[in-house]
């Protein structure tokens, strides 16, 4: 199967996003397409309603939404919007616990269909499990 994924991220904190993309790209026997917009193609400034529509357009074709737990503190409003929209259209959510993190944000745990640790096998297995 070729997985269509949306990875929640912020362009101002793109190192975890880049690490996730690299991890998935380097995982043997895992084919995927990234529906998130990377920092290199960042949108200009726009009103919240336009940003929400951009995010909806990225999430709609995705098979799964990936939320990296460590980004919650700085971007909770946007991440909550992404999770709420994903749930409203029946998209499964995979929560990923960052390396060395002991606790995941409660909202991410509540919304996620599955929470996994940050390693290629756990993430890919989690995606395969929740995407039907």
Rounded distance between C-alpha atoms, residue 112 and residue 122, angstroms: 15
pTM of the model: 0.91
pLDDT score, position 125: 98
User: Which residues are within 8 A (CB) of 101 and not within 5 positions of it... i.e. 6 or more apart?
Assistant: 69, 70
68-93 per-position pLDDT tens digit: 987 655 568 888 999 999 999 999 99
27-56 per-position pLDDT tens digit: 999 999 999 976 666 667 778 899 899 999
SS3 state of residue 20: helix
Give me the domain span that covers residue 109: 2-36+45-130
Rounded distance between C-alpha atoms, residue 100 and residue 45, angstroms: 34
Rounded distance between C-alpha atoms, residue 132 and residue 116, angstroms: 18
pLDDT score, position 97: 93
pLDDT score, position 25: 96
Rounded distance between C-alpha atoms, residue 128 and residue 43, angstroms: 31
pLDDT score, position 66: 97
Rounded distance between C-alpha atoms, residue 10 and residue 34, angstroms: 15
pLDDT score, position 76: 80
100-111 per-position pLDDT tens digit: 777 888 899 999
What is the sign of the dihedral through the CA atoms of 121, 119, 73 and 10?
Answer: negative
Average model confidence (pLDDT) across the chain: 89
User: How far from chain centre, in Å, is Cα 1?
Assistant: 19
Task: Tell me the two tokens of residue 33.
Answer: 């397409």
Residue 98: give its domain's CATH number: 3.40.50.9200
Which of 18, 131, 127, 132 shows the shortest CA–CA distance to 71? 18
The number of distinct structural domains making up the chain is: 1
């Amino acid at each position: 199967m070729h997985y269509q994924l949306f990875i929640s991220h912020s362009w101002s904190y793109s190192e975890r996003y880049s690490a996730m993309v690299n991890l998935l790209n380097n995982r043997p026997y895992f084919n995927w397409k990234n529906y998130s917009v990377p920092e290199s193609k960042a949108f200009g400034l726009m009103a919240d309603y336009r940003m929400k529509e951009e995010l909806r357009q990225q999430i709609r074709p995705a098979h799964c939404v990936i939320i990296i737990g460590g980004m919650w503190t700085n971007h909770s409003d946007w991440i909550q919007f992404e999770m709420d929209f994903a749930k409203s259209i029946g998209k499964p959510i995979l929560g990923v616990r960052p390396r060395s993190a002991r606790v995941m944000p409660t909202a991410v745990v509540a919304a996620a269909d599955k929470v996994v640790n940050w390693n290629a096998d756990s993430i890919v297995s989690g995606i395969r499990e929740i995407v039907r």
